[in-house]
A and B are shown apart, each in its own frame.
Chain A
Amino acid sequence: MPPLVLFALQLLTLALLLAVLYRPLGDYMATVYSSTRHLRVEKVIYRLTGVNQDAEQTWPIYFRSVLAFSAVGILAVYGLQRLQAFLPFALGLPAVSEQLSFNTAISFVTNTNWQSYSPEATMGYSVQLLGLAVQNFLSAAVGIAVAVALVRGLARAASPTLGNFWVDLVRGSLRILLPFAAVAAIVLLAGGVIQNFAGFQDVGTLAGGTQSIPGGPVASQEAIKLLGTNGGGFFNANSAHPFENPTAWVNLVEVLLMLAIPFALPRTFGRMVGDNRQGYAILAAMGTFFVLSVSLLSALELGGRGTAPVLAGGAMEGKEQRFGELGSALFGTTSTLTSTGAVNSMHDSYTALGGGTTMLNMMLGELAPGGVGSGLYGMLVIAILAVFIAGLMVGRTPEYLGKKLGAREIKLASLYILTTPTLVLVGTALSFGIPVIRESVIGTSILNPGLHGFSEVLYAFTSAANNNGSAFAGLTANTPWFNTALGVAMLLGRLLPILFVLALAGSLAAQEKVPVTAGTLPTHRPLFVGLLCGTVVIVSALTYFPVLALGPLAEGLL
């Protein structure tokens, strides 16, 4: 059978697996966040941490809890890196520099997993396990908690509170992420992903040379790296490394892991607001973008336009033989449409328009299906805007799920959608606009000449502000400018949207529900799905069109 038919079969397999997971996983998550019962181990944790598990929080308290937990997380990951020389299982590696520790701490706590460093030469097992892998769980649990708080805001009527952050955090970590990650880790192990503490092992090769084979607790970290849409590689080559992603079937499992929770959360949302059809509408919008994007990137990479791909006979630079162009395009699409940022092929070496597509995926706001939690709350904010726009067109007060959308709600939604583009565009502009910085950016950081070099910088800020973490990795980002600017972009790109979402949730929760009338716009019909998709394109993608024209579009069309 021709490769394209086989690839279509692979996509169908993926769709089938996601469809099988949708109801049970979505319902399970709804139960986890709705249940009033606590597990015994959870009660012990609440006692140890001093949490009153049955006390609900108002939105400002919920947000301050997120803030406190993030701040403590950043300090902990920073401290672990700075003290690496004194830690056991550090492979003899020295302390990580101040700037790099700052960047990496923010990166992992914000669910971004941008890496300005090469892990096998920088991070020992202790930092990977105690710092990075722990944040892979926790940043994911925070993301889901915030999404659930917004859903509660929509579901509740006249409620001053949104739930308890600490309870949501612990439940997300222990009841959802931990069991799924453990099963996934064993599947990955069976596929060939390593799990040991052996360090580097020297072997004499067949041809008489030597090779230093790395070890490490990789499977346990790989599982949560993908399941929590984190993306930070144990190795520099990330999921292109055969010890992280050894075969084509493991590649499909890894794609499934990235998509499982984000695609099931609309079900959780539907369940919690008491109307599963609302979940299907959100799912339909997410699925539409996913199918379009994976088709586009596959066609572009298989088409192999550009000087080097044409000369070589295919766009295989930076791609692994076992995945080929199509397996790489599937992973690349998944990684940039979620907030994962893992790569199984080097996006910097994609065709110009293919690389541009991965950027566009992130610029859509990572909501198709998006990161764990962040994808759902991103899409719900757009849904609120879509209802508002529809309301303006017919001159009615807009309402979503029985909640009136007034000036306050629309202001918060607007602030949400303005945050990321501002960070991306200002960061990119400053990189080239300030002479001293431009010198360092062009002289030290950029690898590829010409338009592609501009794309590397644009990609970096797009990735950081959207908390994705993938890169046009030719960029040397371990410089004072990028470590600092990207660190700030990641932090603001995470916390400001969370602030606006929680404020929105608080304001929605406080409202009474208005009854459905003949004038209410139904938000579960295809018409609304179309409106939602249109709004996504208008508010996110079009913002970036001019800047895309300066980089990937110019390179690809010239």
Chain B
Amino acid sequence: MATTRGTLRQYGVAVRALLVLTLILGVLYPLVITGIGQLALPQQANGSLVRVDGRAVGSALIGQSFADAEGTPLPQWFQPRPSAAGSGHDAAASSGSNWGPENPDLVAAIRDRQSAIEKLDGVSVSAIPPDAVTASGSGLDPHISPEYARLQVHRVAAARSLETARVSALVESMIQERDLGYLGEPTVNVLALNAALAGMDEKN
């Protein structure tokens, strides 16, 4: 009898402890952080949105598609990495492909992507960097490698009737070196690059 009462008491303590701690850790804590974020760091807290002419066109951190409704890449835009998020760059369904290294589907997909780039950009397969033919972990990778950006310069310049040298200079100016000079990999943000490209058009 005494043990039953002891056990019941223990569960009573557990319930009350969970309620009090939930109030502190599950309500107060996130609200305080939200307040700090919204007041001190609103740009980051709200998703680092990129605006063109005052209109939000996406997030600097979230990769988006530059293809037509059928999924065919639009030649006048720099293309992002392949995406396994939903039907491609679906920011409501982040995901990698989860294909293993020996999966025939992955091997076939890489071959298809290589031949598509070979055709679109007129380069040999050996010149295509790995990020161009592999889906990222999130499916929302906002970046490509500088190599993949450089590879697309000719095609983009031709599609927009711009001088190759100008587009090339733009790409070089958009390369982000490693964080603090040594963390991570060099990248090019595709949305930022394409937004700058669109601005270049207007000045013409």
Where the two chains meet, the residues of A that have a C-beta atom closer than 8 Å to any C-beta of B are: 1, 3, 6, 9-10, 45, 48-51, 64-65, 68-69, 71-73, 76, 118, 120-121, 129-131, 133-134, 137-138, 166, 169-170, 173-174, 178, 181-182, 185-186, 189-198, 200-201, 203-207, 209, 211-215, 217, 219-221, 235-237, 240-243, 246-249, 251-252, 305-309, 311-324, 327-328, 343-346, 348-352, 355, 447-452, 455, 472-474, 555
- Is B41 close to A, CB under 8 A? yes
A241-B98 contact in complex given A64-B10, A178-B29, A247-B179, C-beta closer than 8 Å? no
Contacts of A327 in B (CB 8 A): 183-185
A50 and B12 form a contact (CB under 8 A): yes
CB distance from B174 to the nearest CB of A (A): 14
B103 and A49 form a contact (CB under 8 A): no
B11 and A72 form a contact (CB under 8 A): yes
Contacts of A219 in B (CB 8 A): 33, 37, 45
Contacts of B178 in A (CB 8 A): 6, 248
B45 and A251 form a contact (CB under 8 A): no
- Is B21 close to A, CB under 8 A? yes
- Is B1 close to A, CB under 8 A? no
B139-176 to A contact mask, C-beta < 8 Å, 1/0: 11111110000000000000000000000000000000
CB-CB nearest in chain B for A452: B100
B64 and A173 form a contact (CB under 8 A): no
CB distance from B46 to the nearest CB of A (A): 5
CB distance from A461 to the nearest CB of B (A): 18
Contacts of A241 in B (CB 8 A): 94, 138, 140
B45 and A194 form a contact (CB under 8 A): yes
For the complex, what is the distance from the CA of A189 to the CA of B67, rounded to whole Å? 31
A49 and B17 form a contact (CB under 8 A): yes
Contacts of B198 in A (CB 8 A): 206
A321-B102 contact in complex given A133-B30, A196-B45, A205-B57, C-beta closer than 8 Å? no
Cβ 8 A contact of A51, one of B17, B59, B135? B17
A to B CB contacts below 8 Å, 22 in the list: A49-B16, A178-B25, A182-B33, A195-B33, A200-B92, A203-B57, A206-B64, A217-B30, A252-B183, A308-B99, A311-B110, A311-B111, A317-B101, A317-B106, A318-B137, A320-B138, A321-B131, A321-B185, A345-B96, A350-B101, A447-B99, A451-B102
For the complex, what is the distance from the CA of A315 to the CA of B96, rounded to whole Å? 14
Additional pairs, 12, CB under 8 Å, beyond known A134-B21, A346-B96? A121-B92, A130-B27, A207-B65, A240-B96, A243-B62, A317-B97, A321-B81, A321-B187, A348-B99, A452-B101, A452-B102, A474-B98
B4-47 to A contact mask, C-beta < 8 Å, 1/0: 00010111111111101110111101101110111001001111
CB-CB nearest in chain B for A324: B185
CB distance from A166 to the nearest CB of B (A): 6
For the complex, what is the distance from the CA of A385 to the CA of B194, rounded to whole Å? 61
For the complex, what is the distance from the CA of A268 to the CA of B64, rounded to whole Å? 47
B48 and A192 form a contact (CB under 8 A): yes
- Is B200 close to A, CB under 8 A? no
> B residues 89-124 with Cβ under 8 Å of A?
89-104, 106-107, 110-111, 114
A318-B29 contact in complex given A240-B137, A243-B62, A312-B134, C-beta closer than 8 Å? no
For the complex, what is the distance from the CA of A184 to the CA of B95, rounded to whole Å? 26
Counting chain B residues whose Cβ lies within 8 A of the other chain, the interface size class is 35 or more
Return the 9 tightest CB-CB contacts between A and B, nearest first: A248-B184, A240-B137, A306-B101, A474-B98, A314-B130, A237-B138, A452-B100, A237-B94, A195-B37
Contacts of A169 in B (CB 8 A): 17
Cβ 8 A contact of A10, one of B139, B183, B194? B183
CB distance from B71 to the nearest CB of A (A): 11
B44 and A189 form a contact (CB under 8 A): yes
A320-B141 contact in complex given A185-B33, A189-B45, C-beta closer than 8 Å? yes
A448-B100 contact in complex given A182-B33, A221-B30, A321-B143, C-beta closer than 8 Å? yes
CB distance from A104 to the nearest CB of B (A): 16
B137 and A236 form a contact (CB under 8 A): no
Interface centre among B11, B15, B95 (most CB of A within 10 A): B95
A242 and B138 form a contact (CB under 8 A): yes
- Is B56 close to A, CB under 8 A? yes
For the complex, what is the distance from the CA of A320 to the CA of B185, rounded to whole Å? 10
Contacts of A240 in B (CB 8 A): 94, 96, 136-138
B14 and A318 form a contact (CB under 8 A): no
B184 and A324 form a contact (CB under 8 A): yes
CB distance from B129 to the nearest CB of A (A): 7
- Is B55 close to A, CB under 8 A? yes
Contacts of B102 in A (CB 8 A): 306-308, 352, 448, 450-452, 555
